[in-house]
Amino acid sequence: MKSVLETVMNPSGAWLNGAVSQMFHLTAVVCLACVVLKAIQLYRRKQKLLKIFKSFPGPPTHWLYGHLQMLQQEDELDNTASWAEQYPHCHPVWFGGFLGFLCINHPEYAKAVYSRGDPKSLVTYSFLVPWIGQGLLILNGPKWFQHRRLLTPGFHYDILKPYVTMMADSVHVMLDKWEQLITQDKSVELFEHVSLMTLDSIMKSAFSYQSNCQTDSDNLYIQTVMDLSLMVYQRIQTPLHHNHLIYWLSSQGRRFRKACKLAHHHTDKVIRERKESLKDEQKLEKIQKRRHLDFLDILLSAKDENGAGLSDEDLRAEVDTFMFEGHDTTASGISWLLYCMALHPEHQQRCREEIKEILADRDTVQWLPSFTEYLWSSQKPHSLARSRGLRPFEILTRELSWMPFLRFSAVCSWTQVEYI
């Protein structure tokens, strides 16, 4: 009896060692089963994609890396253009061994895709959800329409007009920096400066927040937003990080989660402080008498037909979405505009003369027909790639029974010879 009690009470007893051993064995079996199950899912997914892609010839691909090695190099755009010449309508592109999508190069194919009301693809958008939440960029269906209806007043011309001066101030800060840089007689990466300028403009006009991010490199929130944008792109380029579990266990995944917490903390603080300041100003008319309306005012005051506004979670999602989409896409468009202006000095001079003639020494922005035309023309061949998930449909007699991800290549589509 004593020996039995000693065995039971002894922490190093055989029963404890056996229990621990069984626990480890069980854990190993469960982990192995999960790995095998995931491998089967990936294999079936790839076979399904390969079956679909048989109808669409494309560039040679590596079984594990796909086309990533050619998409990560400096000649990425050259490779993309070369593929478009070889496959002028569409072709498969693989981001790793298991994530494949159909790249659409031809305007008629793009027309067939975008004329449909199909839902967005969440294949890569899911990488953004931990940061920007379920905002307009991610949402589909009735909730998207509800949010869009509530946010529409925020983009009215009368709301945007007072902020032209603020945006001009941000541009002047950027130009002052460029005047100093050109004296150094070396090349300058413009996109970083343009991105900070658009971020500064959005912070001022949308949230009435003076970040001074163009001159203050130590602004934690601004640096966090820039880091998050970069980490999302890096994750898309890393096949192993497409798996959520692997990514969250990686060092970059932990950095991304920490950055999300910092961004959310700042957003929540801005929303909370604005709510406090609006307690005595429940109607937009009262607010507008005291100061300019901004995007956050519209969000907090928006009500649907039942008198319900956006929840705190929805508010944060829309603010973070606006910050991400607003500064990044606008900076890209402005950068491409400057690039096109540099390539075509005759158009640059024409726009300069028009602006001088109409604006003179005023800050008022009026209709600029030539400049506006050139602005839109510069965006056509250099727009950001668009992606959508689609239900089964037919493209030139070739049916897609299942396609989780389609990508529209604006660069290739707008340079098709018959459409120039």
Residue that is written with structure tokens 């076979």 in the block: 47
C-alpha 64: how far from its chain's center? 26
Looking at the domain assignment, is residue 208 inside a domain? yes
Q: Are residue 186 and residue 37 in the same domain, yes or no? A: no
| Predicted pLDDT at 255 | 97
Which residue, of 343, 361, 395, is where some domain finishes?
A: 343
Q: Are residue 203 and residue 294 in the same domain, yes or no? A: yes
DSSP assignments along 89-127, one per residue: SEEEEEBSSS-EEEEE-SHHHHHHHHTS-PPPP-TTGGG
| Predicted pLDDT at 412 | 57
Looking at the domain assignment, is residue 63 inside a domain? no
DSSP assignments along 158-220, one per residue: HHHGGGHHHHHHHHHHHHHHHHHHGGG-S---HHHHHHHHHHHHHHHHHH-----TTT-TT-H
Mean pLDDT to the nearest integer, 98-112 = 81
Q: Are residue 160 and residue 300 in the same domain, yes or no? A: yes
Q: What gap in Å lies between CA 345 and CA 349, rounded to an integer?
A: 6
The model's pLDDT over 340-381, given as tens digits with 9 standing for 90+, comes to 889 899 988 988 888 888 776 665 555 566 666 666 666 665
Higher pLDDT pick, 98 / 260: 260
The model's pLDDT over 385-397, given as tens digits with 9 standing for 90+, comes to 444 544 444 444 4
Higher pLDDT pick, 17 / 138: 138
Q: Are residue 150 and residue 244 in the same domain, yes or no? A: yes
| Predicted pLDDT at 27 | 85
Looking at the domain assignment, is residue 148 inside a domain? yes
Q: Are residue 165 and residue 300 in the same domain, yes or no? A: yes
**Which CATH number do you get for residue 140?**
1.10.630.10
End-to-end C-alpha distance for the chain, whole angstroms: 95
Q: 47-51, 340-344, 406-410: which range is least confident on average?
A: 406-410
Which domain does 326 fall in, by range? 130-343
- Number of structural domains, the chain? 2
Contact 325, 137 (CB under 8 A): yes
| Predicted pLDDT at 59 | 93
Q: Are residue 196 and residue 287 in the same domain, yes or no? A: yes
Looking at the domain assignment, is residue 334 inside a domain? yes
Which residue, of 47, 64, 85, is where some domain finishes?
A: 47
| Predicted pLDDT at 332 | 85
Cβ-in-10-Å burial (0-12, 13-18, 19+) of 36 comes to: exposed
Q: Are residue 28 and residue 137 in the same domain, yes or no? A: no
* Token reading at 321: 């979405």
Contact 297, 309 (CB under 8 A): no
Best mean pLDDT range from 37-51, 256-270, 284-298, 300-314: 256-270
Mean pLDDT to the nearest integer, 284-302 = 71
Looking at the domain assignment, is residue 337 inside a domain? yes
Q: Are residue 27 and residue 147 in the same domain, yes or no? A: no
Mean pLDDT to the nearest integer, 282-286 = 56
Mean pLDDT to the nearest integer, 87-92 = 87
Q: Would you say the pTM of this structure is higher than 0.85? A: no
Q: Are residue 206 and residue 306 in the same domain, yes or no? A: yes
Q: What gap in Å lies between CA 404 and CA 300, rounded to an integer?
A: 35
State the pLDDT confidence band at 167, using cuts at 50, 70 and 90: confident
Looking at the domain assignment, is residue 406 inside a domain? no
Which residues make Cβ contacts (< 8 Å) with residue 126, sequence separation at least 6?
none
Q: What gap in Å lies between CA 245 and CA 125, rounded to an integer?
A: 17
Q: Are residue 183 and residue 297 in the same domain, yes or no? A: yes
Higher pLDDT pick, 333 / 72: 333
Q: Are residue 307 and residue 181 in the same domain, yes or no? A: yes
Looking at the domain assignment, is residue 281 inside a domain? yes
| Predicted pLDDT at 293 | 74
Looking at the domain assignment, is residue 276 inside a domain? yes
Percent of the chain with pLDDT over 90: 17
Q: Are residue 1 and residue 148 in the same domain, yes or no? A: no
